[in-house]
Chain A
Amino acid sequence: MSYTYLDHEADIGIRCSGRNRAEAFEEGGRALLNLVADPERIRPERSFDVRCRASGLDTLFVEYLNEIISLMGREDCVFSEVVILEIHRAGEEFLLKGTVRGEAIDPARHGLKTEIKAATYFGLELTETDREVTLQCVLDI
């Protein structure tokens, strides 16, 4: 597991890393999902596409987290798994394609924890070397 939570008075920050962009984004997604519910209690029965775009890699991270949050609300689901299929540049933008898996939300079974309003641009950081990509942002909860 390569993510941690950062203390913030009213909200919470996520800091995540991976050997490459996809891994780092996946870790960030896992950090998010673990805040919402207990992934161990969620059956990966249904699959949803995650698609988003942004002008920068760092803002793409925020868009990606927000798309997962939005999907949870639109589909009334919680997710246990997230996979990044690709992140690539297209013109002036970055595009992300991924999948999340989970099932319909069941408050009695899923160990629900925190309602996340949104990922914000606040505290947004991205560092990228040959060996590691690290990302950070603050979530409004």
Chain B
Amino acid sequence: MSAPYDIKEISPCLHELAASGDMRVPGRIYGDRKTIESLVGDVEKGKVWNALVQIANVACLPGIVKASLAMADVHPGYGFCIGGVGAFDLEEGVISVAGVGFDINCGVRTLRTPLRKGEIEEKKDEFAASLFHHIPAGLGSKGDIRLSMDQIDEVLLKGARFSIERGYGVAEDLDYIEEGGQIPDADPGNVSVKAKERQKSQVGTLGSGNHYIEVQYVDKIYEPASAGAYGLFPGQVLLSIHCGSRALGHQIGTDYLQVLERASKKYGIPIREKELVCAPIRSPEGRQYFTAMNAGANCAFANRQAIAHLARKAFHEVFGLPARQIETLYEVGHNMAKMEVHEVDGKETKLLVHRKGSTRAFGPGRKELPERYRAVGQPVLVGGTMGTESYILRGTEKGMGEAFGSAIHGAGRQMSRQQAKRQWRGDKLVRELAHRGVLIKAHSHAGVAEEAPGAYKDVANVVEIMDRAGINRMVVRLKPLICIKG
């Protein structure tokens, strides 16, 4: 992409990149002036990897509907930018690995408890040690659930229900997970043996990188009525788990890169960037990837369900709380392509919505939401950077109309991992955060440095942009007490 590129402000928090060249639709970026300056700056500096080009490239894909969207946590990814959303018509449109990512259905589960902040602080070290002990994390870790190949197929079909049937959780959890914790259109037959072999001891493990478990408290309430509907009160302790489909998801992405590369050529789909290989949604290859991706998603559901229950074990061990008092507030995914019905030109239309580093954020009235939350809208669990704050937002009607009911997923990186490691030391960061009352337990100090708050955009700013745009609304702000890093 080279200048001139036509970006105009639609409102202070929404900008449009005009469709030009091969773009079938415009780009729409939720961001303020600084966001746009940063995106344009990357282009002008000649940065090869830049999000603006990725937004434009996605806009060139066949069957894309309305716009190639980017949420306010936008930063360069591969193929799709992180924070990227692309919805496709089922007849003309395509499915792309880049719009999902390798960590299929990476997401966040948040549990709510009857505890208050002070109760955690009295037993902080003990509780952190219990979580660290019960939940395997870090490179090379293994879970307690060891699976045969047949059992892996069961995971890929049943999702969170698999874990519950094995005693990891309660049936009520399923009502508060997107898709009920199980996507029916999943086919383990389209998942390779390699992928299943990689998963055999990984169900119930956290992984590493930016995966974490965080013990939080409700620090500020923006919408009391919405917070009440979500069962939240000031000072309440929550626990959030951020992880995905582990090695199985990674292998599915790897396997289908080649399949979709061949398919792109077979169906004559012009690809502006290699990672955007794709296939028509209705093609055999598109269908294979879709059902494999859903199988991977079910694996992520099963994984988070198992970890949630291990967290309940820790609560019981340290605070004597029974499992039924640790409830699932909600669980979201932020790397997926989902079949959803949206209004397009006044008509209810089924679309395939890719969200890469973007969270679904359905608005009030949607039947997919649990009855308890339906009047308010979907909770959107936004992880902050390590040691800073997190947010629970909600979806809105405006968000449904403009952005297919989508939201940010986190703060968005502004610095590479390499640079972060050069700038910060993990052990020093741990001490600094401890002074601020946040206990970090990590399997790797290098990993901590990579996740330094300064390596990310300001999550408060990113959340406010989405709120000012009216796409999402801030419900509560959470502050961390303990962070277990993978």
Contact = CB atoms under 8 A, between A and B. Distances in A.
Interface in A121-138: 121-124, 138
Contacts of B423: none
Nearest to A7: B416
Q: Which of B194, B275, B277 has the most CB of A within 10 A?
A: B275
Given A10-B82, A70-B254, A118 B102 contact: yes
Interface string A97-124: 0000000011100101111011111111
Given A115-B207, A117-B103, A10 B75 contact: yes
Query: Which residue, A62, A70, A78, has most C-beta atoms of chain B within 10 A?
Result: A70
B466 interface: no
B198 A9 contact: no
A10 B416 CA distance: 6
A112 B414 contact: no
> Taking chain B's interface residues, is the majority helix, strand, or loop, or is none over half, making it mixed?
mixed
Contacts of B273: 122
A10 B356 CA distance: 13
A59 B78 contact: no
A140 interface: yes
Contacts of B90: none
Contacts of A8: 49, 76, 416
Interface in B127-153: 138-142
Nearest to B199: A73
A66 interface: yes
B415 A9 contact: yes
B417 interface: yes
Interface string B227-270: 00000000000000000000100110110011001100000000
A107 B141 contact: yes
Given A7-B418, A121-B261, A113 B446 contact: yes
A107 B82 CA distance: 31
Most chain B C-beta atoms within 10 Å of own C-beta, residue among A76, A106, A110: A76
A54 interface: yes
A115 B261 contact: no
Interface residues of A, number: 39
Contacts of A40: none
B197 interface: yes
A76 B413 CA distance: 30
A55 interface: yes
Contact of B274 (A114, A124, A141): A124
B194 to A, nearest CB: 5
Given A12-B417, A54-B258, A141 B209 contact: yes
Given A112-B444, A114-B209, A105 B140 contact: yes
A140 B78 contact: yes
Given A55-B262, A118-B102, A113 B444 contact: yes
Nearest to A66: B254
Interface string A36-78: 1000000000000000001100010011001001100110101
A140 B418 contact: no
A70 B252 CA distance: 11
A115 B137 CA distance: 11
B198 A73 contact: yes
Given A7-B416, A10-B77, A123-B78, A117 B102 contact: yes
Given A70-B198, A121-B275, A10 B413 contact: yes
Contact of B258 (A12, A63, A122): A63
30 contacts: A8-B49, A8-B416, A9-B416, A10-B76, A12-B416, A12-B418, A54-B258, A59-B258, A70-B194, A70-B251, A73-B251, A76-B142, A106-B140, A107-B140, A110-B140, A113-B446, A114-B139, A114-B446, A118-B250, A120-B79, A120-B102, A120-B257, A121-B78, A121-B79, A121-B261, A122-B49, A138-B49, A140-B78, A141-B209, A141-B417
Lowest 3 A-B CB distances belong to which pairs? A122-B78, A73-B198, A7-B416
Interface of B: 48-49, 75-79, 82, 98, 101-103, 138-142, 194, 197-198, 201, 207-209, 247, 250-251, 253-254, 257-258, 261-262, 273-275, 277, 413-419, 443-444, 446-447
